[in-house]
A = this chain, B = another copy of it.
Amino acid sequence: MPSAPSSRPTKDHSKAIAELKAQFGDRLSTNLATRQQHAHTMTWLESQPADAVLVARDKQEVAQAVAICNTHNMPVIAFGIGSSLEGQLNAPYGGLCIDMSEMNEILQVNSEDLTVTVQPGVTREQLNHYLRDTGLFFPIDPGANATIGGMVATRASGTNAVRYGTMKDVVLALEVVTAEGKVIKTGSRAKKSAAGYDLTRLMIGSEGTLGVVTEITLKLFGITECIGSGICHFPTVEAACEATMMTIQMCLPIARIELLDTLQVKACNQYSNLTLKEMPTLFVEFHGSTAGVQEQAQIFNDIVEECGGSDFAWDSDEEARKKLWHARHNAYPASRALRPEAQALSTDACVPISRLAECVSETAKDIKEAGMIGPIVGHVGDGNFHVLLLVDTDNPDEVQTAEDLVGRLAKRAIDMDGTCTGEHGIGQGKRKYMAYEHGDAVGMMQAIKHALDPNNILNPGKIWP
């Protein structure tokens, strides 16, 4: 297996563990199964369990645990639900895994202000279920039923981001435990502020390397009167990207615009027993008033026709919508079923939308030439797309081929004035692209890391070597 640092740490954390044990008693687990369970994530990278796991009950416990770890230079890895993709939850240098799943209270809904404050273990589905009678919803949907804390850590986004933004746009304030075990607040519930440095945005996407998030205040949005969903097909990926670009350029407030390439559509047909045309396909969704959705759909229809697309059909019925999105939501297992014995290597990149068609086409060609199977799906309204490479990880040549493909995609996206990851984060898997993407800005980032975590206890080996 590649990429992740393969050497297990030799550092002895027994003093820290003894102190943690004295503090938390039997609730500190050093059981191997528990540790392995907390290192298992959706990544293809080698699993590296922590030395101990604590299921935290409240912020004070998190602060106590972090303070003990800081004293003894023991790494701290915060765990949500284990849905990260780049090895963010591995413990390459050992350490304490703080499981946040029981810190899952929804603390305060302020429907007048469209805000909610939650603990980090709340999942996005739990939150939306809780909100179901309020007329409000939390729009960020990265696919997995991730925890809000995890979504903060990786700056998650997903299908609705084209309209509602990413985690950086919907988080108002955080409560964070610092490396020395202090509890701080990074903001207020005011919609905007010009008072000092934006610690909220600094924490979002820092993958647990700058602090441990213990509370999150989020913006909510009203569920619109009407939601319309549709599907359409294109002769080529380029034509589908062209239609996407025109949609964005016209500032149509589209809520979702998702590309599936032909292989992905085939996979979905097989997996979900569907009869979609096996062509590059866009799934779209419109949010608005009834008249507004009608208007958006009409404009979109014109764009589809202009770009040589066909069969645009949409519906505002909830059942029809659910059926439609079912296929999209199952894209991941559907792809895996193309080669069930293989491991899935999910990677993503993001480019300016004018370069999207080119980036997707070159990537598809590259995958084909490498002899790999790799369906492409994308949140194309943001210029963001995913490749799911199906890799026999027992075959080192194949692993190398896959890694090289990911490397070329990262470089391709960066060269197009884009980024090596739009939403999965850096973790362990993409550390090697940081310097190429950020140049000397890496020095500034590392200076911040060192200032806020001088003992390098916060999720070491992630983002940075």
- A: residues with CB less than 8 A from B are 110-115, 154-157, 161, 165-166, 168-169, 178, 182-199, 201-202, 204-206, 210, 221-222, 224, 245, 248-251, 253, 289, 291-292, 295, 350-354, 382-384, 413-414, 417-426, 430, 433-434, 437-445, 447-452, 463
Contact = CB atoms under 8 A, between A and B. Distances in A.
Contacts of A292: 291-292, 295
Contact of A195 (B185, B351, B438, B444): B438
A422 B251 contact: no
A222 B196 contact: no
B192 A157 contact: yes
A66 to B, nearest CB: 14
Which 9 pairs, one residue from A and one from B, show the smallest C-beta to C-beta distance?
A201-B201, A451-B451, A222-B251, A193-B419, A112-B354, A190-B418, A184-B441, A190-B350, A189-B417
Contact of A199 (B168, B188, B430, B444): B444
Given A155-B194, A194-B154, A295-B289, A441 B185 contact: yes
Count copies of this chain in the complex: 2
The residue among A166, A417, A444 with the most chain B CB atoms within 10 A of its own CB is A444
A353 B290 CA distance: 28
Given A112-B249, A169-B169, 15 more contacts: A110-B354, A112-B352, A113-B352, A113-B353, A114-B251, A157-B194, A189-B418, A190-B350, A190-B383, A194-B205, A194-B424, A195-B421, A198-B205, A222-B249, A222-B251
A441 to B, nearest CB: 4
Given A190-B350, A382-B192, A422-B192, A447 B441 contact: no
B201 A206 contact: no
A451 to B, nearest CB: 4
A288 to B, nearest CB: 8
A447 B440 contact: no
Contacts of A155: 192-194, 198
Contacts of A437: 188, 195-196
A296 to B, nearest CB: 9
9 contacts: A155-B194, A155-B198, A191-B353, A191-B382, A191-B383, A195-B425, A197-B445, A198-B201, A292-B292
Given A113-B354, A251-B221, A198 B188 contact: no
Given A169-B169, A353-B191, A422-B192, A199 B245 contact: no
Given A195-B433, A447-B452, A190 B113 contact: no
A195 B155 CA distance: 9
Contacts of A430: 195
B205 A224 contact: no
Contacts of A413: 190
Given A199-B441, A441-B199, A452-B444, A421 B194 contact: yes
A184 B291 contact: no
A63 B168 CA distance: 30
Contacts of A169: 165, 169
Contacts of A111: 249
Contacts of A198: 155, 168, 198, 201-202, 204-205
A206 B197 contact: yes
The residue among A289, A382, A441 with the most chain B CB atoms within 10 A of its own CB is A441
